[in-house]
Structure 1
Amino acid sequence: MNQDTMSGRRALGRRAAGVMLGAAGLLSAGSALAQGQMRDGSDDIVEPEKGFLAESFDYVKHNSYFRVGVLHFQYYGTSSRLTVEDAQGLAAQAFPPGESEIPHTGSSAGNTTTLGGTIGIFLPKTGRHLAMEVTLAPPLKLDFELAKNAEDESLAPVTRNGIPTGVPPIGKSIGTFKALPPNFTIVYRPWVDTLIQPYIGAGAMYLYTYDTDVNNEVLNAYGNEPQLNLTKPVACVGQLGADFKLPQNMFITADVKYVGCATVEAKVNNIVINSPTLSPTVGPIDVGTVSSSNDFKAVLYQLSFGMRF
């Protein structure tokens, strides 16, 4: 190679190196500028918005509570007199035609104790003063009972002509039924930062009953399977209680709910009774249907342990 050629190549190499160094400098400057702009404009960056479901889940997660404890159901209701209708044969001779009320009688429900739980959520923008609660319990198995003279006296001891019918006393317990008493209340707490937090509430309860079973020996003597039917109204609920704060967002609650403002119609159909003295001669005594109208009143007492989130 001659001297001119080598000089040209050296010049070309120097230009190429200069271009590469210049490009690297531009890239470095651009990167630094971009990082500086991101830092300077960090307040203007908009975070992606959460979806409605995510926001709702997040709110429930930080504004809910639960409690679990002992629940006692105490029935205080009253009823109308027992009414007999569709009595046949000898039993019909004990009552006037059509429906007939039996004096000094009635019906009632038994009491029970079980576990009960409550789930609550504080309502938005109320400073945790207002909350919505739902109280649930395992199915309550309750006794359906006769009251007053019907417990130990015959419903039809004699005919209108004074002839003994031989119908025996039925006894107190007619059978059982199960109840699922879900209730919803809106609760107000006047103080939310004190050691003791009293509250008052109001709401509704659905008196849902099912799985009725007439297991009375007198009523089942002929194997005719009488049926117990209960209506399922909605009742009103009044609530009083207090939370007692414990460490770590835990608390103990004493709660009382009054349930009322509802009428439950009760009917026992297809009642056929064996008369120890007359049935061997005249056959079974067909009493028909016995019914009552119950003014439902009950109190739910609950003592429970809870935790807030």
Structure 2
Amino acid sequence: MNQDTTSERRWPGAKTAMALIGGASLLFAGIAGAQGQMRDDGYSGSGMDRLEAEPEQGLIGGAIDYVKHNAYFRVGVLHFQYYGDSSRLKVENAQGLAAQAFGEGSSRLDHTGSSAGDNTTLGGTIGLFVPKTGKHLAMEVTLAPPLKLDFEVSKNAVDESLAPTTQSGIPTGVPPLGRKIGSFKALPPNLTLVYRPWVDTLIQPYIGAGAMYLYTYDTDVNNSVLNAYGNEPTLNLSKPVACVGQLGVDFSLPKNMFLTADVKYVGCAEVEAKLNDVVINSPTLSDTVGPIDVGTVSSTNEFKAVLYQLSFGMRF
């Protein structure tokens, strides 16, 4: 256990999930509106990639017609796999007996960390081809139902007591936490720009890049050690924007249908996790001195995850 007096790092703010999705929608509408004003004499494309609306259709009619002939969707199974790293757990504002165990100020607990669990759910993607690109470029928005993920500790924090003795060597009897601390829900919408080098083949690989808003909510701490006094700690997670790298392949089927295997890497973000108002029981000392007021336990997670998706799709 090492003393840590360095100042706490600041984390970037994030836009709301609705702002991200709304921005994508405005972009799609703007593309469609611009395409609606094109004329055949100024555009060399043909077929479904060209908007065929007449001028009298107006902006709304042109946008609807463009989307009708240049959009696609897919839906299938989505698996979230977390690979991120974590800093050591940091204890701050310990009081009374806890201050004797952890020391004054802040402390880093050696060989500890935190993590997130994995989950499988349904996932859907809506795509729209970008004008004047021959359907080589498309914008995609991927959405999924809320993911319920476990918040976990790792390494020694799983099966070793975080405070086995006070600084004077008196055993506390505080048990290990176990792996699962609680749970949270994640609603991670993401927006990517996708490039397909071949668009008229049966097999169409693609590559993409974009951003994801790491929106989390509905946190719940249900660890029996942390809830021993009925004083449930609160779990707070920061909500940064992460970058997304994407690889996939479409397998064409009859009648504008297709199958897709898609992999997205999510990274370039740090998530701060904080457990506030942590009060635990010392079986050997609490009967005399009361509960142990640990204060705040936090960690910094270098977010890394992969989203695997197998889905069925249809082009309009």
Normalising by the smaller structure, the TM-score range is: 0.7 to 0.9
Q: Are the counterparts in 1 of residues 117 and 149 from structure 2 also a CA contact under 8 Å?
A: yes
| Mapped pair 1:208 → 2:215 | yes
Alignment correspondent of 1:87 = 94
Amino acid in the other structure paired with 2:76: G
Deviation at 1:303, TM superposition (A): 0.2
Alignment correspondent of 1:32 = none
Alignment correspondent of 2:262 = 255
1:275-300 Cα shifts (integer Å, max 9, x gaps): 22222222111111100000000000
**Whole-Å Cα distance in 2 between the matches of residues 210 and 195 of structure 1?**
42
Amino acid in the other structure paired with 1:275: S
Secondary structure, in 3 states, of the residue corresponding to 1:62? helix
Secondary structure, in 3 states, of the residue corresponding to 2:208? strand
**Whole-Å Cα distance in 2 between the matches of residues 112 and 72 of structure 1?**
6
**Whole-Å Cα distance in 1 between the matches of residues 58 and 181 of structure 2?**
56
Alignment correspondent of 1:196 = 203
Alignment correspondent of 1:298 = 305
Secondary structure, in 3 states, of the residue corresponding to 2:205? strand
Q: How does 1:111-122 map to 2 (within 5 A)?
A: 111-122=118-129
Secondary structure, in 3 states, of the residue corresponding to 1:192? coil
Secondary structure, in 3 states, of the residue corresponding to 2:142? strand
**Whole-Å Cα distance in 2 between the matches of residues 279 and 262 of structure 1?**
40
**Whole-Å Cα distance in 1 between the matches of residues 131 and 93 of structure 2?**
57
Instruction: From 242, 248, 269, give the equivalent of 1:235.
Output: 242
Secondary structure, in 3 states, of the residue corresponding to 1:221? coil
Amino acid in the other structure paired with 2:182: G
Q: Are the counterparts in 1 of residues 172 and 283 from structure 2 also a CA contact under 8 Å?
A: no
Unmatched 5+ stretches in structure 1: 1-46
Alignment correspondent of 2:183 = 176
Secondary structure, in 3 states, of the residue corresponding to 2:169? coil
1:4-39 Cα shifts (integer Å, max 9, x gaps): xxxxxxxxxxxxxxxxxxxxxxxxxxxxxxxxxxxx
| Mapped pair 1:268 → 2:275 | yes
Alignment correspondent of 1:17 = none
Higher mean Cα deviation, 184-193 or 276-285? Answer: 276-285
**Whole-Å Cα distance in 1 between the matches of residues 278 and 172 of structure 2?**
15
1:34-62 Cα shifts (integer Å, max 9, x gaps): xxxxxxxxxxxxx7621101100110011
Deviation at 1:96, TM superposition (A): 2.7
**Whole-Å Cα distance in 2 between the matches of residues 219 and 259 of structure 1?**
31
| Mapped pair 1:288 → 2:295 | yes
The normalised TM-score by structure 2 is 0.82
Deviation at 1:97, TM superposition (A): 1.7
**Whole-Å Cα distance in 2 between the matches of residues 157 and 287 of structure 1?**
13
Secondary structure, in 3 states, of the residue corresponding to 1:262? strand
Distance 1:289 1:48, change over 3 A: closer
Amino acid in the other structure paired with 1:105: T
Q: How does 1:50-69 map to 2 (within 5 A)?
A: 50-69=57-76
The structure with more radius of gyration: 1
Q: Are the counterparts in 2 of residues 189 and 198 from structure 1 also a CA contact under 8 Å?
A: yes
Unmatched 5+ stretches in structure 2: 1-53
| Mapped pair 1:245 → 2:252 | yes
Alignment correspondent of 1:75 = 82
Deviation at 1:119, TM superposition (A): 0.3
**Whole-Å Cα distance in 2 between the matches of residues 169 and 272 of structure 1?**
14
Amino acid in the other structure paired with 2:253: L
Alignment correspondent of 2:113 = 106
Q: Are the counterparts in 1 of residues 171 and 284 from structure 2 also a CA contact under 8 Å?
A: no
Alignment correspondent of 1:4 = none
Q: Are the counterparts in 2 of residues 91 and 165 from structure 1 also a CA contact under 8 Å?
A: no
Q: What RMSD in Å do the two structures reach over aligned CA positions? A: 0.9
Q: Are the counterparts in 2 of residues 167 and 285 from structure 1 also a CA contact under 8 Å?
A: no
| Mapped pair 1:123 → 2:130 | yes
Q: Are the counterparts in 1 of residues 225 and 281 from structure 2 also a CA contact under 8 Å?
A: yes
Alignment correspondent of 1:166 = 173
Q: Are the counterparts in 1 of residues 173 and 284 from structure 2 also a CA contact under 8 Å?
A: yes
Runs of 4+ in 1 over 2 A off after TM superposition: none
**Whole-Å Cα distance in 2 between the matches of residues 305 and 113 of structure 1?**
17
Would you say how many aligned residue pairs link Structure 1 and Structure 2? 263
